[in-house]
Structure 1
Amino acid sequence: MLCYKTIPLGFLVFCFFIHSSFGASSLNHFCFSHENYTADSPYDAHLTRLFTLLQTKVPPTGFGLASTGQGLKKANGLALCRGDVSSEDCTTCVVDASKDIREFCPNSKGAIIWYDHCLLKYSNVDFFGKIDNKNKFYMWNVQEVQNPTLFNKSVKDLLSGLAVEASEAAAAPKFYATGELQLDTFTTLYGLATCTRDLSAADCKKCLDGAVSELPNCCSAKRGGRVVGGSCNVGFELYPIVGT
């Protein structure tokens, strides 16, 4: 069960989670544009076409960009599936996202939605290749660890290393990395770092480093946590967080 608390003066949303597998339910969404479109308008038609293109382009590689229309009526969008997700599950996630974002953000010219397996974002403003620092939220496990100082350091070490690995475009073209760190005989820390692939390698690293630096704001001493954004996200848990 998810529980959200919204910060009135910003886009940050804080929430709790017990387990990382949420099925087809979205993790969160923002209707971030202050502009609206009307039903059956050119932008509405372009958005429908955009979602169809993304549903086709994204699953084979796990990422895709598309634009439809011209000028002020242009719709730009991207979708990213988690690096370990199959093409079939990626398709399902992007299709669900296309449907749900219409329901959650009716008539908004810009919106973003996140799931465990994918994210989808669209806007009438060209945002490709730019770090999205506005659309962001935190998640954390309500349980705490017994040795927070040592644990927090281990989390930072693991995720900082994954940020380097994920942003090395030549070695990791998916801008995606997972890893683990053995804390003791019985405890393993698991981590994940990923970026949308419209970013440069340098901007991916910058985005991930920023996300890691925000972990103390939400997730200090927690057994698991995430910083989830429009361009990148990092997460850690004391159980495997991929393949679910």
Structure 2
Amino acid sequence: MHYSSKPYLIIPFMLCFSSPFLSASSLFHVCFDKNSISPGYDFSLSKLASLLQANVPPTGFGVGSVGQALTRANGLALCRGDASKSDCTTCIVEASKKIRVFCPSSKGAIVWYDTCLYKYSNEAFFGQIDNKHKFYLFNTDDAEEPDFNEKTKNLLTRLVNKAYTSPVLYATGEQELGASEPIYFNWVVYGLVQCTRDLSGNDCKKCLEAIVSEFPDCCEGKQGGRIVGGSCNFRYEVYPFINTE
């Protein structure tokens, strides 16, 4: 892992899974508001986990609050738009357990998996764009096609415009890049963008436009990459990674 001077993590990665849902390990996590938590708040986090585990999988998204005053815990969970109900359930259950292991004494935390994110805080955060918690992932293989960066960014921009008007704030698509030499086959780039559904459509657009603008810092010239945040994310690859079943 290589840490940058910015408040996010840049991690080279190579994916070799045949299914996007085979990885059970988390991608990254952040613990914040690192104060000792009371037994009452700890109990609220346990109740919140049960609430989100039950409410999120049917639609792929949910928010909830448990407790009062100093014991109040607010939580949010989102599954990737192409995740099945069973994959969503598995991910939310795993995330809600592991986040307590990763951040045992923090009042706020967020953990990302390939299939879902899970976040909680003692502060009310619903409906607010989370620009603070964010990280980059990119494929270490370079893209040699001369128009790769331009066409990939155009694809992501097109998906942003599609996602923010969608009821589920999610969109996928692909862009043909043309023939590649000396391999002589047509390259296609596949893309996905998504926002947490506590955001308005306009705030989703703002969130996605902001991270797409960081494409040159994250992934320019790379065959795959993503920027993953607390409120929105994008991903692109030169292989089909989106579940269409």
Give CA deviations for 1:153-186 in whole Å, capped at 9, x if unaligned: 1111000010010100xxx211110000111152
Q: Name the structure 1 match of 2:182.
A: none
In the aligned structure 2, how far is the partner of 1:230 from the partner of 1:94?
15
| Unaligned ranges ≥5, structure 1 | none
Amino acid at match of 2:239: Y
- Number of the residue aligned with 2:8: 12
How many residues get paired?
Answer: 234
Q: After superposition, where does 1:119-138 map in structure 2 within 5 Å? A: 119-138=117-136
Q: CA deviation at 1:99?
A: 0.8
* Distance in 1 (alpha carbons) for counterparts of 2:163 and 2:205: 8
The 3-state SS of whatever aligns with 1:187 is strand
- Per the TM alignment, residue 5 of structure 1 is displaced from its structure 2 partner at its CA by 2.1
SS in 1 for 2:158: helix
> What SS does the aligned partner of 1:179 have?
strand
Q: Which runs of 4+ in 1 moved over 6 A?
A: none
Within-5 A mapping of 1:26-175: 26-38=26-38, 41-148=39-146, 150-168=147-165, 172-175=166-169
Deviates more, 1:218-227 or 1:27-36: 27-36
Moved more, 121-130 or 10-19: 10-19
* 1:123 Cα deviation from its structure 2 partner: 0.3
Name the aligned partner's letter for residue 163 of structure 1.
Answer: V
* Residue 183 (structure 1) aligned with residue 180 (structure 2): no
CA–CA separation in structure 2 for the residues paired with 1:50 and 1:37: 15
Aligned partners of 2:135 and 2:64: how far apart in 1? 25
Structure 1 stretch 60-69 or stretch 11-20: which is displaced more? 11-20
Aligned to 2:228: 228
Mean CA deviation greater in 105-114 or 13-22: 13-22
Root-mean-square deviation (CA, aligned residues, Å) is: 1.4
Secondary structure of residue in 2 paired with 1:189: strand
User: What is the CA-CA distance between 1:28 and the residue it aligns to?
Assistant: 0.4
Matched residue SS, 2:11: strand
Gaps of 5+ in 2: 180-185
- In the TM superposition, residue 35 of structure 1 has moved relative to its aligned partner by 2.5
**8 Å contact 2:34–2:105 — kept in the other structure?**
no
* TM-score, length of structure 1 as denominator length: 0.92
SS of 2:7 mapped into structure 1 = coil
Give the C-alpha shift of residue 34 in structure 1. 3.0
**Matches of 2:32 and 2:229, distance apart in 1:** 13
Identity of aligned residues (%): 54
Partners of 1:183 and 1:108 in 2: CA distance: 46
Structure 1 counterpart of 2:242: 242
